[in-house]
Structure 1
């Protein structure tokens, strides 16, 4: 159900987008005379208006993936997001442009300019060329992020060693799939492709750490495919809730899981045995809360409930959607905590998010003594743009040492 805060957020983002479009246009007009042409101006604002309406329609109406494909809305929406992110790239380029202009003027040599106007002319030519490539650069960024970034999926492999891993479990291979958001931007063909990637890695089990599906019209087909995948996994598939499951019909998802071979772990644990040596898979719900203190308390409650009955010192793998559970994993001496939720910011620089995220753990592997925590950047997204942060499947090969 849509809330007033949701519509307020849509209105705020819409206003921001229109302001960015206006600033971009004023900059382009000032630096490139062609943008003052009536036909170019009309085309610019028509394209901006159409993309604006398409994106708002998608956010507010949330059309099904089937509707998007049948009516060609899918491609139109991708083009709209391409234009939108191109606009954002332009406004981020403007400070760089004026910074270059300022420093070129600052370090200009007045004596040379008085005697010969060539240095000044060279600067003008450089700035003019720089301005002319701005739209091309911005559109290239948009295309890279929306079309190429949407299709790229990588496998990240991690070799981890533990002193407490039972000998019978030495060599256990675990795959993690997170944040697929199956729906308009992650269809069933893509799920088949990802399932094929997982099969090629030959893991013993698959952990799904939340935000599996956004379009419940695809629920039956999704779990039918997961059931087929589980046949190739010695220890099956384990799944914990994410925040997007709470947005949808959790009862309907729960009913479908109950009919499948996928194991839902909700503030509880599941014991795997190899001979007489157990390994425990723990799963927790998403900690909805009004503030950080309340979220921390919910995490404590969920972890306590999930660990009830697990012998002290047992080798434990924790599945959670929210990355703050990595703290709980370290505090409880949990060997491996797998999380998602952040998408890695979807824009990265040198394997780190390109902008601040409100999480202590944002992307990749973290370690405290003999315990590990991992934040997957996700295999999908609910906004089609990735740059320097490709979607991923994570594979963990666990070994023991004495």
Structure 2
């Protein structure tokens, strides 16, 4: 109860400043009442959605949208507050100065209209961006292509094409046509193999049932391989029993197998071509910061030779720096996801790549190299929590393997 009281108090303070900006800019009382109405509806829906019974830390679509709309509305006020608060401090200081120096009655100067206009103008940017992210950004799929060179790549695999997708989070989807487009986009890459690096669902295997027909369409000459992500284990649900939780995981694995995916549970496979081979190693989730650490490199490579060319599928990129790059085996490429790029940031190719998630993960989006080994952190196909994306768009990664060195 205390947390809701604190939330309401903070929300009222921030909304009050937003209302003051609106009142200063326009005298139309209808707009003033509209602002108050929206503020009440946004807060009321958020409190309602997060107060009703839940099965643990489960964010269903209704809760996600309640959170997203609140975030957008609060972003408006978060920009306005420091600007108008700063103006209030200056106005108060000026009034106090006049009182002390001129000995006249304390007279606080009125708000200046252009300050409120500036505040509203600046605040409109994150507000509009967050609304756009929920309306269109979450399904703004893009294909990112990379070429990686390896001197020890088997010659038969020169120009071998890999498509990676990650973090489908099917429990968040709300637009079938957009998902159909995304699936078609993956197949259009005509890669030799497809790798999925975890988080098929948000919480439960049942979330994937309405989408199995679509994702069953994913095809590649050398197959579709997958691993588990932290959300696939059902750890964020209050299950009625341990057996129910185990059954949920078993159902999720079976769904993937039914779709034609080869699920690697601390296992490896070989892709052979013209008498040569590369190893595909898949580990269960391993992550820092309280996340499940079920990944076992030793178990996954029992039939893999140290000289094999190896591609590792590991959902959480923190695994790479903590365990992978210092392992006795040399993992040429690690494919991960997990971060979503926080679904928010700024990316201008060749200029800037930034997201707040960089303060949590050193490798959070794109290709990184260390000790002669590469990792690609996919930004994710779906979304979770905030039901949108701003600047960090959903991604289909295509990596082409080349034999030799990069002389470019």
TM over 0.5: yes
Map of 1:318 onto structure 2 = 312
How far residue 41 of structure 1 moved from its aligned partner, in angstroms, is: 6.5
- Sort the Cα spacing of 1:178 and 1:36 in 2 relative to 1 into closer, same or farther, 3 A: same
How far does the alpha carbon of each residue in 1:239-258 deviate from its partner, in whole angstroms, 9 at most, with x for none? 00001111172111122334
How far residue 24 of structure 1 moved from its aligned partner, in angstroms, is: 1.8
Map of 1:112 onto structure 2 = none
Partner residue of 1:376 out of 369, 375, 378: 378
| Cα distance in 1 for residues equivalent to 2:92 and 2:307 | 67
How far does the alpha carbon of each residue in 1:34-89 deviate from its partner, in whole angstroms, 9 at most, with x for none? 69988346514431333314542689369x99xx9xxxx87x97476234322134
How far residue 139 of structure 1 moved from its aligned partner, in angstroms, is: 3.4
Give ranges in structure 2 of 5+ residues lacking alignment.
94-108, 235-244, 347-351
Alpha-carbon RMSD across the aligned residues, in angstroms, is: 3.7
Q: In the comparison of the two structures, how many residue pairs are matched?
A: 364
- Sort the Cα spacing of 1:97 and 1:267 in 2 relative to 1 into closer, same or farther, 3 A: farther
| Cα distance in 2 for residues equivalent to 1:196 and 1:171 | 22
How far residue 163 of structure 1 moved from its aligned partner, in angstroms, is: 1.1
How far residue 125 of structure 1 moved from its aligned partner, in angstroms, is: 4.0
Map of 1:212 onto structure 2 = 200
Map of 1:25 onto structure 2 = 15
Q: Are 2:108 and 1:126 aligned?
A: no
Map of 1:255 onto structure 2 = 254
- Sort the Cα spacing of 1:244 and 1:99 in 2 relative to 1 into closer, same or farther, 3 A: same
Q: Are 2:228 and 1:234 aligned?
A: no
How far residue 155 of structure 1 moved from its aligned partner, in angstroms, is: 0.9
Alignment of structure 1 residues 274-285 onto 2, 5 Å: 274-285=273-284
How far does the alpha carbon of each residue in 1:186-220 deviate from its partner, in whole angstroms, 9 at most, with x for none? 55443322111012111111111001123533534
TM-score, structure 2 normalization: 0.77
Alignment of structure 1 residues 94-243 onto 2, 5 Å: 94-95=81-82, 124-133=112-121, 136-185=124-173, 188-214=176-202, 216-230=205-219, 233-243=220-230
Q: Are 2:331 and 1:331 aligned?
A: no
Map of 1:344 onto structure 2 = 341
How far residue 365 of structure 1 moved from its aligned partner, in angstroms, is: 1.2
- Sort the Cα spacing of 1:19 and 1:207 in 2 relative to 1 into closer, same or farther, 3 A: farther
- Sort the Cα spacing of 1:46 and 1:125 in 2 relative to 1 into closer, same or farther, 3 A: closer
| Cα distance in 2 for residues equivalent to 1:198 and 1:58 | 38
How far does the alpha carbon of each residue in 1:76-103 deviate from its partner, in whole angstroms, 9 at most, with x for none? 9747623432213421453356568989
| Cα distance in 2 for residues equivalent to 1:145 and 1:58 | 26
| Cα distance in 2 for residues equivalent to 1:304 and 1:193 | 39
Is the 8 Å Cα contact of residues 21 and 117 (structure 2) preserved in structure 1?
Answer: no
Question: Higher mean Cα deviation, 364-373 or 392-401?
Answer: 364-373
Structure (1/2) with the larger helix percentage: 1
Give ranges in structure 1 of 5+ residues lacking alignment.
1-7, 107-120
